[in-house]
Structure 1
């Protein structure tokens, strides 16, 4: 499956699952409040599948899979049969209407907690936050050294690279000095401060991460495996040998070793490889071979395998997984509101918004990483949908809740004229937000 079709497929799966769950919230609470539901639709436009249930509700899947809706019996949309007036939406007490409208975002929140819980139960495979810094970067100037292990970021303990990136991305929005606790390769613990206030304003998190220069440390320059019959094995290299130089050029890590081999072999395939075995220095003369391995592009090959990156799987039992799920949901909720607030005040750039294209790309990538990662992605998108729908923008659930709160205060419903004006304003705001997110997606694609 190509990246494009994979992205489209997993986007449809994501929207299908989350929209169905959201609309089911409205449907379920409406039925409990005695409101007649005329139609439950996943998607907009013409129906590609539908059937009528025993309860009189028409269930359908529509052609445009970018949302959904629940159509209830509503006096504002036409005459209501006197026999059905007790099942009409606007005739219900305001508290029931609030419950019906809030149920959609509420069910998205329930889905978020359940998805995080299952993710922690299954175990999310990750890597340890052992890092290095690119030369002359902010991380390098702060004192990050090759092989440092991140222990905490701004007081939050981190045990995986994903947790570290999550904490860093949130901190980069605020661009304030960020305290870190690290443990060096020598075992000593140090307190550092990343001077994020030196970052220029108005850029997205991806650009800030590039300037920060903090990245996973590559594996050490150790021959973890030496393939039989390949040049390194024929020259006498063994598993466990530490590689120290290529043609006299020092080797810092396995990634640097690979680059030096390609550069040097392009001039002459015969290489002088300095190694250390049991503390003793040795020199091996190895003739690199030009070939393609496992269908990859041809390159100079020695037959040496890198040590694996240290794994750090996050996995809990049922009770601890629920505690972790609730904590993760709360943390991401506060971070999302913090980001929205910073965008409104100008502290964070609106370039951090992502639209349907960005969601599709991440959906495809996370699905390829396995079920726990896809569950995490679904949880985060579901939480974003819950928060977005609760914003006090007319046409969204939050806008309707605002109308009902006004009704509670003034003792009578908001006038139809005021609601119509609000709808137009809400549509304008929503399309502006969608357009901005779409522009950001296109801009990121052109720059990548």
Structure 2
């Protein structure tokens, strides 16, 4: 229940901010172009609050927080008194109409940069891009535990989150990439990651897992949580023991225990297991036993399990800039994210990625906003910036009913020297309505499948 209420709250807050900024862009430019604005509404449906401003505009907050609109004086929507014709939208030059329509998406793009600037100034906490375990493609590339990934191609990766965001587009495209890394001793290396070897048809959500990189912060400490009865560790090791070394080889993480136990078992002799218990160190002799796993394979075991992880360790990296340096950083990040959004749209249209994983509705937005808000202000600013960017760019698509559709009409008007006929615009509106209805239906379908069925 708490998650549901939190998701609803952050959906309302997020859409409220994005829609208000978008519609304010239309409103502000319309007023400067001499157009009379009749209503500025955040939300649709029954008004929950309204006020008539001194400028004659009715300001409204409505019940359905899934959009908004700016209603302008327009002869196409009703009779306009002769003394007010100069303030009608349709009487303005085509260039002014273009500016008014373009102002909404531009306001969202500007908001994206402002939010990214604020995120960089606040500082986004994350984990250092240090590798834990490696296997598969990552192991073939020569990556090793303790490596720090400084860059993927030309994109710097100061945190693990940035590393994942940089790898994902290349993984989706099955494009090989160069990684700039520093090993545990600080020596720089270049590693060639063959993402072209990722299986075709693999679920996009599992692609990064298929690379074979596990972060250091996901590793478990070498603390025993449970000793299985009737195994070699019974009566010798205890829950709470920290394993320090096996056969003289230091143990840093719980994952280090397995390979060392296999080596001891293959040798066929007992090994000394060094543990720390209640502040004291002990050296205990243990001989692994042979056991079968669920697939029928044989392995050596001691019979111990790690302490279940209740939460991740504290974050050990932060992405932060000063107020001045944050501005160019925000512009670069906004440009990069816009490029990735266009690339994702291209992948969806070409069928290279599933629209089921790329088109989300209000439920997905709500859950995402809530999840990021729980991570802290900087993370919420990040997702809000990306939503603003998406809203701005998607509104520029040349689909009637969207801002991009109106811009298309005005560009045609510039070329032919006169406005499109009302019949042509009406036909376009029906096409746009059908496209938007289909897109909304797909978004709601994906919401149901991704959030309730799976």
TM range (shorter): 0.7 to 0.9
Alpha carbons of structure 1 residues 147 and 76: separation in structure 2 relative to 1, 3 Å: same
For the aligned residue pairs, the C-alpha RMSD in angstroms reads 3.4
Alpha carbons of structure 1 residues 24 and 204: separation in structure 2 relative to 1, 3 Å: farther
- Tell me how many residue pairs correspond in the alignment: 406
Alpha carbons of structure 1 residues 183 and 306: separation in structure 2 relative to 1, 3 Å: farther
CA contact (8 A) 2:356 2:446 kept: yes
Alpha carbons of structure 1 residues 67 and 319: separation in structure 2 relative to 1, 3 Å: same
Task: Quote the residue 2:351 is aligned against.
Answer: 346
CA contact (8 A) 1:173 1:339 kept: no
Q: Secondary structure at the match of 1:190?
A: strand
User: In the aligned structure 2, how far is the partner of 1:393 from the partner of 1:305?
Assistant: 48
User: In the aligned structure 2, how far is the partner of 1:197 from the partner of 1:304?
Assistant: 34
User: In the aligned structure 1, how far is the partner of 2:372 from the partner of 2:146?
Assistant: 27
Structure 2 alignment gaps of length 5 or more: 224-237, 259-271, 286-304
Alpha carbons of structure 1 residues 62 and 304: separation in structure 2 relative to 1, 3 Å: closer
CA contact (8 A) 2:243 2:251 kept: no
Quote the offset at 1:22 in angstroms: 0.5
**Which structure 2 residues correspond to residues 183-332 of structure 1 after superposition, within 5 A?**
183-217=182-216, 218=218, 221=221, 243-244=244-245, 253-254=253-254, 274-275=274-275, 282-283=282-283, 311-332=316-337
Alpha carbons of structure 1 residues 213 and 435: separation in structure 2 relative to 1, 3 Å: farther
Alpha carbons of structure 1 residues 357 and 250: separation in structure 2 relative to 1, 3 Å: farther
Task: Quote the residue 1:121 is aligned against.
Answer: 121
Q: Secondary structure at the match of 1:49?
A: strand
Kindly provide the CA deviation profile for residues 77-99 of structure 1, in whole angstroms up to 9, marking residues without a partner as x: 11111111000001000010001
User: In the aligned structure 2, how far is the partner of 1:95 from the partner of 1:203?
Assistant: 48
1:408 aligns with 2:428: no
Quote the offset at 1:20 in angstroms: 0.6
Alpha carbons of structure 1 residues 210 and 221: separation in structure 2 relative to 1, 3 Å: closer
Alpha carbons of structure 1 residues 306 and 183: separation in structure 2 relative to 1, 3 Å: farther
Structure 1 alignment gaps of length 5 or more: 224-234, 259-271, 286-299
Quote the offset at 1:69 in angstroms: 0.4
CA contact (8 A) 1:128 1:159 kept: yes
Kindly provide the CA deviation profile for residues 40-82 of structure 1, in whole angstroms up to 9, marking residues without a partner as x: 1111111111111111111111111100000001111111111
Q: Secondary structure at the match of 2:34?
A: coil
Quote the offset at 1:372 in angstroms: 1.1
User: In the aligned structure 1, how far is the partner of 2:7 from the partner of 2:325?
Assistant: 33
User: In the aligned structure 1, how far is the partner of 2:157 from the partner of 2:356?
Assistant: 27
Quote the offset at 1:16 in angstroms: 0.5
Task: Quote the residue 2:146 is aligned against.
Answer: 147
Alpha carbons of structure 1 residues 75 and 204: separation in structure 2 relative to 1, 3 Å: farther
Alpha carbons of structure 1 residues 364 and 249: separation in structure 2 relative to 1, 3 Å: farther
User: In the aligned structure 2, how far is the partner of 1:255 from the partner of 1:308?
Assistant: 16
1:9 aligns with 2:15: no
More deviation in 168-177 or 308-317? Answer: 308-317
1:57 aligns with 2:62: no
User: In the aligned structure 1, how far is the partner of 2:439 from the partner of 2:87?
Assistant: 36
Task: Quote the residue 1:47 is aligned against.
Answer: 47
More deviation in 89-98 or 153-162? Answer: 153-162
Kindly provide the CA deviation profile for residues 369-395 of structure 1, in whole angstroms up to 9, marking residues without a partner as x: 111111111111000000000111111
User: In the aligned structure 2, how far is the partner of 1:435 from the partner of 1:276?
Assistant: 59
More deviation in 170-179 or 404-413? Answer: 170-179
Alpha carbons of structure 1 residues 99 and 147: separation in structure 2 relative to 1, 3 Å: same
User: In the aligned structure 2, how far is the partner of 1:141 from the partner of 1:53?
Assistant: 66
CA contact (8 A) 2:174 2:195 kept: yes
- Please report the TM-score for the alignment, with normalisation by the length of structure 2: 0.81
Quote the offset at 1:183 in angstroms: 2.1
User: In the aligned structure 2, how far is the partner of 1:430 from the partner of 1:196?
Assistant: 35
User: In the aligned structure 2, how far is the partner of 1:102 from the partner of 1:203?
Assistant: 39
